[in-house]
């Protein structure tokens, strides 16, 4: 069992809708689990037996074709919800991009619990609606944007989502550290690793950004970046 009252994402995750008693009940169902970077929590097509909350780290949702092409269809951060409630096989794999920690629930137990806790279900609905908006926004990027627009859009979104992480939520840092490498950026944007790399180099040459190290990005000219994002 898990002690929810001291949970790091207690107030941001869907659990935030629950009172002390309910939290205790949910806590009995959940258990914390560490996932090492690169390890896969859920496999695409499997009858996924669990749902989970992310406590720490970053995970990716991946869809693959038979011949091995991969597309990242979602990136989840702490307090985000993972999995497919209500009895469906997982339509994507969930893999840790960094060392991560999640709070896992048996799906059937969770479904039952959710059904009798409308507030929790509403929180889940809101979250799912937001995810859907984000996914549809991303569809525009994948279908209609050029490589440079894709990279610019990606950096701006990451800058926003990663800034929300720390204590000083709200302020946009100029610099931030990406939790993933070039290949994964490419898999998010529907590009190859080479094209991604070239676009970044071009932007650095233009002075719009700096790349102090492999995973660090500093946005020098956010306005220009917004224009490039299309």
Partner DNA sequence: CGTCTGTTTGAGGCTTTTCAACTCATGTGG
Partner DNA sequence: CCACATGAGTTGAAAAGCCTCAAACAGACG
Q: Which residues bind a copy of itself (CB under 8 A)?
A: 61, 63-67, 69-71, 73-74, 84-86, 88, 91-92, 115, 118, 121-122, 124-126, 128-129, 131-133, 135-140, 142-145, 189-190, 230
Q: Look at residue 5 and give the partner it binds from a copy of itself, DNA, none, a contact being a CB closer than 5 to 8 Å depending on partner kind.
A: none
Name the residue nearer to a copy of itself (CB basis): 57 or 85: 85
Name the residue nearer to a copy of itself (CB basis): 74 or 78: 74
Identify the DSSP state of 37: T
Name the residue nearer to a copy of itself (CB basis): 128 or 206: 128
Which residue, among 159, 141, 153, has the nearest Cα to 229 in the 3D structure? 153
| Tokens representing residue 80 in the block | 């985000």
Which residue, among 150, 144, 45, 42, has the nearest Cα to 102 in the 3D structure? 42
From residue 137, alpha-carbon distances to 13, 79, 85, 185 in Å are 23, 21, 23, 17
**Which residues of this chain interact with DNA, rule CB under 7 A?**
146-148, 181-183, 190-198, 200-201, 211, 214-215
> Length of the chain, please?
230
Name the residue nearer to a copy of itself (CB basis): 22 or 99: 22
Q: Can you tell me the distance from the alpha carbon of 166 to that of 7, in angstroms, rounded to the nearest whole number? A: 16
Q: Look at residue 181 and give the partner it binds from a copy of itself, DNA, none, a contact being a CB closer than 5 to 8 Å depending on partner kind.
A: DNA
């Amino acid at each position: 069992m898990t002690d929810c009252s001291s949970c790091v994402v207690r107030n941001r995750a869907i659990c935030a809708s629950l009172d002390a008693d309910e939290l205790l009940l949910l806590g009995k169902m959940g258990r914390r689990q560490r996932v090492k970077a690169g390890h896969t929590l859920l496999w695409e097509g499997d009858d996924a037996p669990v749902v989970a909350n992310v406590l720490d780290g970053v995970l990716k949702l991946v869809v693959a074709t038979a011949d091995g092409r991969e597309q990242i269809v979602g990136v989840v951060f702490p307090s985000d919800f993972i999995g497919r409630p209500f009895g469906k096989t997982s339509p994507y794999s969930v893999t840790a991009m960094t060392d991560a920690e999640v709070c896992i629930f048996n799906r059937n137990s969770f479904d039952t619990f959710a059904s009798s806790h409308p507030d929790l279900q509403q929180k889940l609905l809101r979250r799912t609606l937001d995810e859907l908006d984000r996914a549809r926004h991303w569809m525009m990027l994948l279908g209609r944007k050029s490589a440079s627009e894709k990279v610019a859009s990606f950096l701006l979104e990451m800058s926003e989502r990663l800034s929300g992480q720390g204590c000083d939520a709200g302020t946009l840092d100029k610099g931030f550290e990406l939790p993933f490498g070039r290949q994964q950026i490419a898999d998010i944007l529907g590009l190859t690793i080479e094209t991604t790399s070239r676009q970044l180099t071009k932007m650095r040459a233009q002075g719009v950004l700096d790349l102090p190290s492999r995973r660090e990005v500093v946005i020098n000219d956010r306005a220009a970046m917004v224009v490039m994002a299309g």
